[in-house]
Amino acid sequence: MAQTLDRLDDDALVSVFAAVTIPDIQAFRQASMIFVCRRLWFISMHHIVWLNACKIHILQECIPFPIESLSSLSARELERQTIRAYRLGQNWRSPNIQLHLLRAADSNTGAIEKIKFIAKNGKNWIVTISLGIWTNLYLWDCTTLQIVNQWSPGKAVFNGMAINTDQNSDASIAISVRHSSYTVVELLSLGFEDSASAVSLRRVATLQTRHKPITLRGDIIFLSDHDSETVIMDWKTGEQCLLRSPDTWQDNPLHVTFVEGNVIVVRARSICVFSEPSMVPRSQEVPVNLPHTRISLGWVDGVSLSERPILQCTEKPSTSCLSMLVRTKGDDPWSLQDQFQFYTVHPGAGTERVYPLQEEMRSDSRPPAPTLTLTTSITCPNRGPLRCSDIILGRYGTAVWVLPADRSVAGLISEHVHLQPVPVPASKQTLTLANFPGPLHCGSDEAEVRVSVENEDGSSWSCMDYDEECGLIALGSGTGGITLFCL
C-alpha cells in the first residue's frame, strides 16, 4: 500500500519539509487546509521547520537576513522573516527587479537633515533629525509613518548622530548636541511600555566632548572631529584611546571600524589605518596613536564602507572582509558624470595594491596593513546640485544613491529686441539601485544599475538610509516629508 504524508511520523515530516523549497512548504500548508489535514498544517507551523528553511534556503544561499539569534525568534516571526528574505533574494536576482513605493507621509517637523533606520524588539523604526527654529529628534513607526515620540534638549543644534548596531545595548542612539557655549554627546535609550507603539526616549548618559559620534557598537562609541582626531571610548567605564590622522582641513569623518587588529578611519578625503590601540582609564593621560598607513582620496562626494558577510555558499570563502564605495568628484566643474568606484579592502598583505599608499615604517609586531583594490565602477549622469549626497553600500554588495535633478537655468533671452521668458522643463531627482560584486549579483564582477525611480512628489530629497536586510529605503525631504520604498 502506498505511503501517504499523513501516515509519516513527525520527525519524517520535518525531514520532508527540510527537503523542499519555501514555496513548497506554503503549498503544503495550503493543501492541508483544503483537505482538512490538521496534522500537516500543524507541523508546517513548527519552529524547527522554519529554522531549517532559513538555514538552507536563506543563509546558505547568501540572502540578506537580520543579524539575530534564530533560536530567539518565535516560530511565527521566524517564518515571516524567512519568507520576506526569500522574496527579497528572488527580487534582487531576477532580470527585472521591482521597487515599490510603500508609503509616504508629510509633517510639519521642518527640513529633515538626517534619517536612519533603527531596530529594537524585533521591529523597525525610523529616526529623523529635523531643523526648525531649533533641532529636534523624531521617532517614527516604520509601518504607519506616524511620529510616536520626539526628543529635544531645548535651545540647541544637533551636530551628528549614530545608531547602535547592537539591539541589546542600553544606548540606542548617540547624538551630538551643540549648546550656545558647549557641546556634549547624549546617549538615548529606546524603552517600551505596555504596548509596542508606546515608545519612550530616555537619556542614559552624557559625554562631555566636542567630538561627534560616528559609530556606536554596544558600549563602544567612536567619536571624531572635522580635521584629524578620532576617540574610541567605552561610554560606561570611560576607558578611551586617541587616534590622530595627519591634519587635513575639513576632512569630515564618515566611518570607523575594526579589521584584523587594525582600526580603519574613513574621512571625506583620506583613509588612515591604525594598529588597534589599548584603551586607558579616564584617570590616566590618553596617549596619541598615529597611523601606519594613509590613503589620499582627493575630493569626493561620498564614501560608504561595509563589512562583508561570511559567505556560506562558496567553496572558497572570500578573504576580504570590507568593501568601500566612493562617489568621486572630478576636477572638471562642468562634468556631466559621476563615477561610483567599488573597492575591496583586504585585511593583510599579499595583494597587489592598485591605489597609491604612503606608509611609515612599522615593526614586524604590528599586524599587516590592509590593502585596497579597485574592483569595478559605474558612471552615472551628474546633472545638477547634489542635495542628497548619501550613498549606502550594503553588506551583500547592493547599493543605493540619489542622482540630482537637471542643471537648468531659467531667465530671459532676446531673439531680436524684446526679452522673452525661457521655459524650463520639469526636473526630478532619481533614486538609483545598483548591484556590485557580491552574493546577490550572481557571481558577476561587473557593477550594474538595476532600477531607477524619479521623485514624483515635487519635494527635494535631502537625506537617505537603506536597510539591505529588510529591503527598505527611507528618504527625507527639505519640506519634512518621508518616502518609504521596499524591494
The range of the structural domain enclosing residue 38 comes to 8-93
Query: Under a CB-based contact definition with an 8 Å cutoff, are residues 41 and 26 in contact?
Result: no
Query: Under a CB-based contact definition with an 8 Å cutoff, are residues 131 and 109 in contact?
Result: no
In a domain, 284, yes or no: no
- Inter-helix orientation angle 47-54/75-93, to 10°: 30
Measure the CA–CA gap between 374 and 382, rounded to whole angstroms. 22
Measure the CA–CA gap between 86 and 101, rounded to whole angstroms. 20
Q: What is the pLDDT of residue 124?
A: 86
For the chain (487 residues), the mean pLDDT of every run of 10, in chain order, is 61 78 84 67 84 90 81 85 92 90 88 91 87 87 90 88 88 92 92 69 92 92 90 92 82 83 85 89 88 82 83 46 83 70 72 36 53 86 80 93 74 55 68 90 81 85 93 92 93
- Domains identified in the chain, total number: 1
In a domain, 162, yes or no: no
Cell of 290: 598615529
Q: What is the pLDDT of residue 319?
A: 46
Strands 157-163 vs 147-151: parallel, antiparallel or unpaired? unpaired
Report CA-CA distances (Å) from 386 to 407, 428, 478. Answer: 10, 12, 13
In a domain, 338, yes or no: no
Which amino acid does the sequence have at 11? D
In a domain, 260, yes or no: no
**Which sign does the torsion angle of CA 203, 207, 208, 212 carry?**
negative
Which amino acid does the sequence have at 162? A
In a domain, 88, yes or no: yes
In a domain, 68, yes or no: yes
In a domain, 262, yes or no: no
Q: What is the pLDDT of residue 483?
A: 93
Measure the CA–CA gap between 45 and 374, rounded to whole angstroms. 47
In a domain, 59, yes or no: yes
3-state secondary structure of 242: strand
Cell of 210: 566636542
**Which sign does the torsion angle of CA 273, 276, 282, 283 carry?**
negative
Q: What is the pLDDT of residue 86?
A: 93
Measure the CA–CA gap between 231 and 226, rounded to whole angstroms. 12
Q: What is the pLDDT of residue 363?
A: 42
How many C-alpha atoms does 462 have within 13 Å on its Cβ side? Answer: 18
